[in-house]
């Protein structure tokens, strides 16, 4: 999964499919969009407010490959 950035502790993905997959892992449905540095990114959850409220007890971050080529995995 490719994460563009983190907004308010929530991952912003490159594709709708990634956002929907992450949403399902966190008991959310749907997705919403954000503009990040001129790119459209996709966040799991039907709205930012719903995502923040639903994940306030902790979220599952996907495994990602960072710029150094190593894999990161964490829970918040």
Q: Which tens digit of pLDDT belongs to each residue from 6-46?
A: 999 999 999 999 999 999 999 999 999 999 999 999 999 99
Q: Tell me if 76 is assigned to some domain.
A: no
Distances (CA, A) of 69 to 1, 4, 57, 72: 13, 15, 30, 9
Q: Tell me if 63 is assigned to some domain.
A: no
pLDDT confidence of residue 8: 93
| 52-68 per-position pLDDT tens digit | 998 776 666 665 444 43
Nearest-angstrom CA–CA distance, 70 and 11 = 18
Q: Tell me if 22 is assigned to some domain.
A: yes
Tell me how many domains the chain contains: 1
Domain residues for the domain of 45 are 3-9+11-58
């Amino acid at each position: 999964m490719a994460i563009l950035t983190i907004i308010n502790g929530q991952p912003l993905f490159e594709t709708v499919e990634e956002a929907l997959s992450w949403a399902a892992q966190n008991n959310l449905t749907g997705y919403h969009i954000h503009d990040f540095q001129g790119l459209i990114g996709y966040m799991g959850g039907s709205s930012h407010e719903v995502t923040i409220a639903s994940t306030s007890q902790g979220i599952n971050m996907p495994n990602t490959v960072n710029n150094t080529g190593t894999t990161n995995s964490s829970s918040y």
